[in-house]
Amino acid sequence: LLLLGRLSTREQPWLADHAVDGTVLVPGALLAELALHAGELAGTGRLEELILQQPLVLTPDEPDGPEGSASGGTGDGGAVEVQVAVGPPEQDGTRSVSVHARPAAVEGDDDPLGAPWTAHATGTLAPAGGRPPVRPAAWPPADAEPVDVEQLYDDLALKGYQYGPAFRAVRAAWRTGDEVHAELALPAPGAAGFRIAPTLLDAALHATGAAGLFPDDGAVRLPFTWRGLRRHADAPDTVRVLLRRGDGDSVTVRLTAEDGSPVADLDAVTFRIAEPVAADPLYALGWETPAERSDGPGAGDVTVWELGSAAHPDLDAVRAALDAGTAPPTALVLPVPAPEETHPAPTPALTAPAPVPTDAAPAATDTTPHPLRTTLDTVVRLLRTALTEPRLESTRLVVRTRRAVEAVPGEGIAGAIGGAVWGLVRSVQSEDPGRIVLLDTDTEGGTGTGTRPETAPRDSTLARALAHALATGDSQLALRGTDFLVPRLRPHRPALAPAADPAADWRLATGGSGVVDDLVRRPLPEAPLGHTEVRIAVRAAGLNFRDAMLALGMYPGEAELGTEAAGVVLATGDGVGGLAPGDRVMGLVSGGIGPVAVTDHRLLAPIPEGLGFAQAATVPAVFLTAYYALSDLADARPGQWLLVHSAAGGVGGAAIQLARHLGLHVFGTASPGKHRTVEAAGVPADRIGNSRDLSFAPAVRAATGGRGVDIVLNSLAGPFTDTSLELLVPGGRFVEMGKTDLRNAFRVRAEHGVHYRSFDLMEAGPDRIQEMFADLVALFRSGVLTPLPVTAWPVTQAPQALRHLSLARHTGKVALTVPRPLDPAGTTLITGAYGGVGRIVARHLAARHGARHLLLVGRRGAHTADDLRLHDELAALGAEVTSVAADVADAEAVARLLAGIPAEHPLTAVVHAAGVLDDATLRNLDADRLDAVLRPKADGARHLDRLTRDADLAAFVLFSSAAGLVGSAGQGAYAAANVHLDSLATARARAGLPATSVAWGLWQSDSAMTGDLSATDRARMTRGGLLPLTAARGLALLDAALA
């Protein structure tokens, strides 16, 4: 038997009333009804089983095309053709049944056979059997508790189920234990032509939501299998339903008329958590070079004044100039004082754990305002005064920050405070459109070249950028060198494709094309450990120039990506002593970029206290290389002179530190842009030369009084090598690290009278490496050595990291971080846990990610019946809940909170979802309102960041808001707090720490921040493009952000 039909929202408009997360799906009840109808025609009136293979999606009805158009004006482009096939009878009387569908043919299709068919459901039919007797019963049952269904469909919509009027049939419900009794009545008109309308059968299952038969974990559950469906009579106007909870996510369904006569029975319908049909993309903020306009004002037409300059030291001086009759400038630059100017902070720390640069938090007893407050207060007062000066109405106010945004990937930021300024000013831009420009530079000067804008040429980068802003309306700019960039939102996609099997181990490898973007995760089968081997869970891997050459296909010979790593010991071979599972180690690990790696125990060493995994991963190769070169090969002695080429690089930086320990005098070379880095490492400015030309030679002669140097540690080639050889004293030692310009040692000795030695670290052998490693660890522990500055990238961005490395944009070292999976045995801390979104996330982490130890934090802890019900739901999902009332804005409270986590369940994940709203325009924004918003969100995030830096976290998730990016009027404080979180995540990630900040739009939840929004408020946000997220969609996006 083969039945053919057609479905569309035009021909069956009631189908449009069945949507999940905005996608119209054909109800499973309709597929079950079609299969049962076909079975009755074939004499098999019982649907023994129907398994839904995949959702049948209906696209929205297209509008009628113009008369005579190619579309024919059908207005039904979303229709699907359906076929129900019943197979021949088996020996036991059963028959197979299947439901297939395909897009309906439209005029103009070239394929005469039509689109291919897709199976949406398969199952088995059986003979119906006898009709059950009438079962009159008291209604409702005497011991049943009433369930409030007044808000049922509003609540279901919040969870992702959008049921229109045709499906809203539940009129009343009661619950007794695992049973739910409900009364259904369908509105008319509805689905016609069915003995039991699929709208009614689907609605019978809605009562599970009203009575809470399943955990309220934010997941969307859809019927997956239907077993034992029998129809006994046509459905009357009012139907009673009994639902009984079965094993797992299944229920038994019985439909009866008001007199108890049977209408239909369903032995079991099993639900399955559904993946979103079409997930919204994630977006990331990137910076691009815009096309410059020629139809607007030119750079020569732009006049710029700057506060803090000699001519205009403050706003009073600006007013005085205007009083004197000077024409207002095109732009008035308002420089934001660097946080270190208002609250001194150390330069980027060389040891960890350490605070984010420039954002060191005062002690808990310190009453000094945090620099975040003082900086924002300064900006608020400056803008408020400048915006109310009538003579500046035509002047653009340029709020200038320095390295507040990461406009060039990998450059990092100066601190998270600058990001808060950007969030605040974006909000003010919405309040006063066209008045303010945000400008970020990478130098102290406003032009991006280190000069003051008032003394810069008229064609300066600043003038060009402001001319562009005037012509295009772009109000956010970043100056980098002589270029200016503008921000753009683009879909976020990991540069590295996911592993084919997420559960399998893999190793990062080149694809063989010689293109840096061609990287793959190569499966790594597990092999038995050798006698001296150790298996480690890799947390971070150091990158070296050799890796960039490998990715570009320029490295001679075969080799694997990765030479060094840090992580946690998983297992050891029989001959390994001194190491045990759980130990934190760093070492030389060939091919160690992946979740798991194996190496010889002699190539490993314990990570010194205070070093994070990313820092530790960048220690072995460069410090062992420098140690071996200076101590073993150069036989360095106190008082000797050392010339270090590429002194801002990894080995160069390590050699400078070791040279200081050995009592050597150091002369270093680097590109001019990195001279400050070399100077910060302890090399005097007059002992730093240019690595881009040969001018370093006379500088070396001058520094050494014409004598020359005793040792050259070289990584350059060609004439640089020749010149360096000439700088050696007789008998000096030239130690070559490079591979591109190797010389003959005998010839060098004959021509220059010096010793020449090229080398590879591994020639030292594992035993000597073990000895050197032990010395280095002791020097780190004593503070003689410190790790180099690290620029870290998630392994999913490995191509960008290698490109950054190959272009020599970094100083110090580059690392890749490899995230650990969420650990069910660890503790997951959630702040704002009792808010609407916090509850949803807690359930999701327990249900989907297997979190078994949840630390739920709120200012008042669990203080309502709903909070206790949340605990019960989480317990039913297998999670152990600890509830703590704590103010995360209080550093001491956070410290006590973390100290209470048991050692057997260490902290492994943090989700910071706390926050409050206190909207105010710039005119009404005062210190108290700023503080109220900053405390739970910004202060809480900083305390959690600082106090968890020594934890082995799988995730550190910050719940930010799109308000900080789009600039919501009246939300300056809230925007500042949220972009502060975004910047904090950037700083953590570049330091090699786990960090994900998600700038959410509005969630469809009754949280403290959104519960008071009126219908008008929500409509206004919708018109602005901010569509509320259902719980299912939001959780899917959260999972994507963490992938």
Q: How confident is the model at residue 108 (pLDDT cuts 50, 70, 90)?
A: low
Q: Compute the C-alpha angle 868/873/875, nearest 5°.
A: 95
Both 650 and 559 in one domain: the answer is: no
Asked whether residue 472 is assigned to any structural domain, the reply reads yes
pLDDT (mean) for 621-635: 97
Nearest to 960 by CA among 939, 974, 946, 942: 974
- The pLDDT tens digits of the residues spanning 959-1003 come to 999 999 988 888 999 999 999 999 999 999 999 999 999 999 888
Total residues belonging to the chain = 1043
Least confident interval from 107-121, 644-658, 904-918, 948-962: 107-121
Both 1016 and 917 in one domain: the answer is: yes
Both 13 and 109 in one domain: the answer is: yes
Asked whether residue 358 is assigned to any structural domain, the reply reads yes
Q: Compute the C-alpha angle 792/796/997, nearest 5°.
A: 70
Q: Is the confidence at residue 473, as pLDDT, over 90?
A: no
Q: What sign for the dihedral angle of Cα 1012, 960, 843, 164?
A: positive
pLDDT (mean) for 620-634: 98
Both 1032 and 949 in one domain: the answer is: yes
Rounded CA-CA distance 352/615 in Å is 8
Q: What is the DSSP pairing of strand 533-543 with strand 813-817? A: antiparallel
Per-residue confidence (pLDDT) for residue 455, from 0 to 100: 39
Rounded CA-CA distance 823/520 in Å is 26
Residue 57: give the domain boundaries.
2-126
- What CATH number should be reported for the domain holding residue 450? 3.40.50.11460
Query: 288: which DSSP letter?
Result: E
Q: Are 1 and 86 in contact (CB under 8 A)?
A: yes
Both 6 and 118 in one domain: the answer is: yes
- The pLDDT tens digits of the residues spanning 165-177 come to 899 999 999 988 8
Rounded CA-CA distance 982/997 in Å is 5
Nearest to 345 by CA among 262, 251, 415, 245: 415
Q: Would you state the structure tokens that stand for residue 860, as one six-digit string?
A: 């008042």
Q: How confident is the model at residue 280 (pLDDT cuts 50, 70, 90)?
A: low
Asked whether residue 793 is assigned to any structural domain, the reply reads yes
Rounded CA-CA distance 942/355 in Å is 9
pLDDT (mean) for 482-503: 83
pLDDT (mean) for 703-710: 96
Asked whether residue 142 is assigned to any structural domain, the reply reads no
Count of CB atoms situated within 10 Å of the CB of 215: 17
- Distances in Å between the Cα of 212 and the Cα atoms of 27, 218, 249, 847 are 21, 12, 12, 16
Least confident interval from 247-256, 260-269, 527-536: 247-256
pLDDT (mean) for 237-251: 87
What DSSP letter does each residue of 1009-1039 carry, written as one string?
TTTT--HHHHHHHHHTT-PPBPHHHHHHHHH
Q: Is the confidence at residue 189, as pLDDT, over 90?
A: no
Per-residue confidence (pLDDT) for residue 241, from 0 to 100: 93
- What CATH number should be reported for the domain holding residue 524? 3.90.180.10
Q: Are 70 and 107 in contact (CB under 8 A)?
A: yes
Q: How confident is the model at residue 282 (pLDDT cuts 50, 70, 90)?
A: confident
Nearest to 1030 by CA among 154, 1, 51: 154
Q: Which of 126, 142, 168 is the last residue of a domain?
A: 126
Per-residue confidence (pLDDT) for residue 138, from 0 to 100: 81
Q: Which of 126, 141, 176 is the last residue of a domain?
A: 126
C-alpha 957 chain-centroid distance: 8
Asked whether residue 217 is assigned to any structural domain, the reply reads no
Both 485 and 349 in one domain: the answer is: yes
Count of CB atoms situated within 10 Å of the CB of 172: 18
Q: Would you state the structure tokens that stand for residue 173, as one six-digit string?
A: 């419900």
What DSSP letter does each residue of 95-140 carry, written as one string?
EEEEEEEEEPP-TT---TT-SPPEEEEEEEEE---PPPPP----SS
What is the torsion angle, in degrees rounded to the nearest 10, for the CA atoms of residue 593, residue 599, residue 602 and residue 606? 50
Rounded CA-CA distance 609/199 in Å is 64
What DSSP letter does each residue of 662-709 carry, written as one string?
HT-EEEEEE-GGGHHHHHHTT--GGGEEESSSTTHHHHHHHHTTT--E
Reduced to 3 states, what is the DSSP secondary structure of residue 72? Answer: coil
Rounded CA-CA distance 772/776 in Å is 6
Q: What is the DSSP pairing of strand 996-1000 with strand 955-961? A: parallel
Both 479 and 555 in one domain: the answer is: no
Asked whether residue 221 is assigned to any structural domain, the reply reads no
Per-residue confidence (pLDDT) for residue 704, from 0 to 100: 96
Q: What is the DSSP pairing of strand 813-817 with strand 790-794? A: parallel
Rounded CA-CA distance 659/120 in Å is 71
Q: Which of 103, 126, 149 is the last residue of a domain?
A: 126
Per-residue confidence (pLDDT) for residue 342, from 0 to 100: 36
- The pLDDT tens digits of the residues spanning 529-576 come to 999 999 999 999 999 988 998 998 888 778 899 999 999 999 999 999
Q: Is the confidence at residue 284, as pLDDT, over 50?
A: yes
Both 578 and 723 in one domain: the answer is: no
Both 463 and 598 in one domain: the answer is: no
Nearest to 182 by CA among 261, 268, 255: 255
Q: What sign for the dihedral angle of Cα 156, 157, 159, 160?
A: positive
pLDDT (mean) for 266-275: 83
Percent of the chain whose predicted confidence (pLDDT) is above 70: 88
Q: How confident is the model at residue 299 (pLDDT cuts 50, 70, 90)?
A: low
Q: Is the confidence at residue 130, as pLDDT, over 80?
A: no
Asked whether residue 284 is assigned to any structural domain, the reply reads no
Both 528 and 482 in one domain: the answer is: no
At residue 32, φ and ψ (nearest 5 deg) are: -65, -40
Both 606 and 655 in one domain: the answer is: no
Q: Is the confidence at residue 344, as pLDDT, over 50?
A: no
Q: Are 334 and 383 in contact (CB under 8 A)?
A: yes
Per-residue confidence (pLDDT) for residue 403, from 0 to 100: 94
Asked whether residue 80 is assigned to any structural domain, the reply reads yes
Both 670 and 694 in one domain: the answer is: yes
- The pLDDT tens digits of the residues spanning 773-785 come to 999 999 999 999 9
Query: 717: which DSSP letter?
Result: -
- What CATH number should be reported for the domain holding residue 77? 3.10.129.110
At residue 933, φ and ψ (nearest 5 deg) are: -85, -40
How high does pLDDT run on average in the chain?
A: 86
What is the number of structural domains in the chain?
5
Residues with Cβ within 8 Å of 982's Cβ and at least 6 positions away in sequence, in order, are 419, 958, 960, 964, 997, 999
- What CATH number should be reported for the domain holding residue 912? 3.40.50.720
What DSSP letter does each residue of 883-904 carry, written as one string?
EEE--TT-HHHHHHHHHTS-TT
- The pLDDT tens digits of the residues spanning 50-70 come to 999 888 988 765 443 333 322
Per-residue confidence (pLDDT) for residue 20, from 0 to 100: 83
